[in-house]
Chain A
Amino acid sequence: MTQPLNGMCVVEIGDSIAGSACTKTFSDYGARVIKVEPFSGNKIRRMPPFKGDIPDINGGAYHLAFDTGKESIIVDYSSNSGLEVLDRLYQLSDLVIFDTTVEKTKKLRSMINGVKYPSTVSITPHGMSGPFQDRRENDMSILAWTTRMYRNSMENMSPLRNAPGSTLVQIGHTAAAVAVGIYWGHQHDQIRRDAEVAGVEAILGNVDTGFVSWIFTGNLPERIGGQLKTRYPTGIYPCKDGYVILSANEEPWFSRLCHAIGHPEILEDERFTKDRENNWHAFMEYLGPYLDQHDKNYIFTHLQEHGVMVAPVLNASDLLDDPQAKARKSFVKIDSAIGEHFLAGAPFHLNKMNDKSFKLESAPKLGEHTNTLLKELDYSKEEIIALFRAKIIG
């Protein structure tokens, strides 16, 4: 059985994690993805960690994980000869993803006009217009614009980011959605579309920000860190061998929790029925001992049997051994530039868990496919060497 996106060709002209994250899903479900890289390689190749802490342009963790199954071509598109190569690539493709400066994107996108050209998606930090369009941002500074850093922190302490890279991944991931949307549209109404994903807008317009709540209520988010001591239990709680995270402050989960830990009397106790927000300490006299006595995986299975939303806090070493991950084969062993290593598997399964619609293939070496692609684009051997010598391709 062929993969669902077989036959589709996506060109990625990117330089950050966002562009790679955007096209990864296309690639893993069968689309042909061509990464157009500068001579120094896409910046994603320089993102640590590296095996043994030894930098390797073909061995960075992000590159290995996000460029799976793609082709890599080095083109310097700052010159006309490079643009001519791009023009042929455009015509070969069904979708072009830009993830570079606004100035470059505008120039490169302006060549795409007319029926023989594909739809495009342009990823930038602040969008392609407006006073901030040329600002340079990174994973953390974009998150700062979205209210999420402010929210994820404690009063009068520095705002906090999420995991490094995760903001750019979210932006790329958002771009993937609109990309597949306009690709669908193009196939059905033959209208070529140019979509624009501004990183700040993509995250601010999504959930888990404090903006809409503030608009609705006028209340700023409570910056009190993890455990909410007025509406509890929610947040991170220590247990015998680590931590669990609980979301049981609302009904019916609160009642279920009280039953599960053997203290249904809490539900009749006036301290909690009438004045819950001031009695966190009293509540912890019930919950605390239960948590202290049990380890995170026990708490997880035991409370979940009672329908309580709880999860263990896992770290890197726990992941591969997680029973669910094992059962679902959520991690896949792959052989690539650094030898065998593990990558996360399918984000979703079509039809069956073991179907072949998702396939991980190793990430390309820098410029690995330049030659074959140029041949495919009808360049002769002499022309290819001439372009190489002029530092147009590599």
Chain B
Amino acid sequence: MTQPLDGLKVIEIGGTVSVSAAGKKFADFGADVIKIEPPQISEVRKIAPFPDDIFHIDKGAVHLAFDTSKRSIVVDHLTNSGKEIIQRLGSKANLIIMDIPAKEALDLINIFKDGDSLLTNIVTITPHGMTGPYKDRIENDLTLFGWSTRSHRHSITGREPLRYGPYAGVVQIGSTAAAVGMAAIWGSRSEGMSRLVDVAGVEALMGNVDSGFFLWAVNGALQPRSAGQSTGLYPMGAYKCKDGYMLFSAGRDPVYSRLCNAIGRPDLSTDKRFTDPVEKPKHFEAFKEILEEWLSTRTKYEAFDELQEKGVMCCPVLDASELENDRQSVHRKSYITRNQDGIGDITIAGPPFRMNGLHSDAWQSKPAPSFSQHTNEILEEYGYSKQETIALFRAGVTT
């Protein structure tokens, strides 16, 4: 046993980005994660980019990154014969995570009910939860952001609210589901009781940090929508340097004073224009000019090294091409490059956390499976005869 989750069986159903993100956590740390995909192609497989911009169900970037170390079986969960397969697979699993419409999820939950008790842990992911007037609504990454107050918060007053990077919201929901799923597994191990967990996307985002609701509930005032550079508590946000941008979180002391010292202007740390809370917002432009003048002679990495040396919270804003070569990433092997069948070398992010040091085998990422790659293997493993396997395939229950 080399990986921490060896021996755990996890089933993910639905093929969405959320459920794929959730299953990945388990898979890369050693659980046997079976990805049950719908015959009409999982959503996660359809997301660009693709190599050379040529779409392919096994070559989408999000699929390649999120479906690592899993096995893929295609089952139509809407048919009774499909449900029978899911029942057989699921009753041996420690956890089932599903991201399908609430109605369909209810049907599947019912096949794991034995009286009042559940045969295994189930986490459902839905936009608005399994109950209530919105339970059947369809949402996407953007609308979920809208519901979570985060779009409102991360934008400029009077202009359209903005989302984060595409899929950031649904991935966060998936990570949330993974965490609670892990808790459910722990619980059933110690108490012998399985749990049904209802993760509503809106709640998972809204109940977490970086939502505007908590602040508003506490102080009753809407925060200014001042995306980008804060004009009140600066420097906060991105500032231009010689070859790009630096991101600062240095509006308050002691970090503010360190910054002033670091750029050779210790005087500013006591300058009333910039330290008095009432005066400070009036002099944003003046400070910006001083800071950007200093930055203009430095690259982002020079600025980063120089300022961090002095304890200033700032970071270079990196683009895709810079990520892979970042010296920290290189040192820790934060990105791994490997050969993926039919594509060649691909690079994906490495472990989200390290167990037992940088070089342990706790986290191992195996290539994402092709669509339906393990259908026959899994059916055989779960006791289906060849005749039954062909019959299921022929009726379109499996693919």
| Complex A–B touching at CB under 8 A | yes
Which residues of A pack against B, CB within 8 Å?
39-41, 43, 46-48, 50, 53-55, 57, 367, 371, 381, 384-385, 388-389, 391, 393-394
Check A40 against B389 for contact (C-beta < 8 Å). no
* Chain A to chain B contacts (Cβ below 8 Å), 20 pairs: A41-B399, A46-B395, A53-B386, A53-B390, A55-B375, A55-B389, A55-B393, A57-B399, A381-B53, A381-B54, A384-B54, A384-B55, A385-B50, A385-B53, A385-B55, A388-B55, A389-B48, A391-B46, A393-B55, A394-B41
Q: A107 to B292, alpha carbons, bound, how many Å?
A: 64
Q: A24 to B180, alpha carbons, bound, how many Å?
A: 54
Contact with A along B349-388 (1 / 0, CB 8 A): 0000000000000000000000010011000000000110
Which residues of B pack against A, CB within 8 Å?
39-41, 46-48, 50, 53-55, 57, 372, 375-376, 386-387, 389-390, 393-396, 398-399
The chain B residue with its CB closest to the CB of A367 is B57
Chain B interface helix/strand/loop/mixed: loop
Partner of A46, one of B40, B41, B48, B396: B396
Known: A53-B390, A393-B55. 13 other contacts (CB 8 A): A39-B41, A40-B396, A50-B390, A53-B389, A54-B386, A55-B394, A57-B372, A367-B57, A384-B55, A388-B46, A389-B46, A391-B41, A394-B57
Q: A24 to B229, alpha carbons, bound, how many Å?
A: 66
Partner of B40, one of A39, A48, A54, A388: A39
Q: A384 to B389, alpha carbons, bound, how many Å?
A: 34
Instruction: Report the number of A-B residue pairs with Cβ-Cβ less than 8 Å.
Output: 56
Check B390 against A55 for contact (C-beta < 8 Å). yes
For B50, the chain A residues whose CB sits under 8 A away are 385
CB distance from B337 to the nearest CB of A (A): 24
Chain A interface helix/strand/loop/mixed: loop
Q: A371 to B54, alpha carbons, bound, how many Å?
A: 7
Q: A371 to B389, alpha carbons, bound, how many Å?
A: 31
For A48, the chain B residues whose CB sits under 8 A away are 390, 394
Check B57 against A40 for contact (C-beta < 8 Å). no
The chain B residue with its CB closest to the CB of A372 is B54
For A57, the chain B residues whose CB sits under 8 A away are 372, 399
Check B398 against A55 for contact (C-beta < 8 Å). yes
Check A55 against B376 for contact (C-beta < 8 Å). yes
Q: Which of A39, A367, A385 has the most chain B CB atoms inside 10 A of its CB?
A: A385
Q: A350 to B47, alpha carbons, bound, how many Å?
A: 49
Check A39 against B39 for contact (C-beta < 8 Å). yes
The chain B residue with its CB closest to the CB of A393 is B55
Q: A357 to B375, alpha carbons, bound, how many Å?
A: 40
CB distance from A203 to the nearest CB of B (A): 24
Partner of A47, one of B39, B53, B376, B394: B394
The chain B residue with its CB closest to the CB of A43 is B396
Partner of B47, one of A55, A389, A393: A389
The chain A residue with its CB closest to the CB of B48 is A385
CB distance from A344 to the nearest CB of B (A): 23
The chain B residue with its CB closest to the CB of A384 is B55
Q: A256 to B374, alpha carbons, bound, how many Å?
A: 62
For B394, the chain A residues whose CB sits under 8 A away are 46-48, 55
The chain A residue with its CB closest to the CB of B386 is A53
CB distance from B348 to the nearest CB of A (A): 20
Q: A385 to B375, alpha carbons, bound, how many Å?
A: 27
For B399, the chain A residues whose CB sits under 8 A away are 40-41, 57
The chain A residue with its CB closest to the CB of B398 is A55
For A391, the chain B residues whose CB sits under 8 A away are 40-41, 46
CB distance from B87 to the nearest CB of A (A): 20
Q: A50 to B376, alpha carbons, bound, how many Å?
A: 12
The chain A residue with its CB closest to the CB of B39 is A40
Q: A149 to B41, alpha carbons, bound, how many Å?
A: 40
Q: A106 to B394, alpha carbons, bound, how many Å?
A: 27
Q: A57 to B47, alpha carbons, bound, how many Å?
A: 23
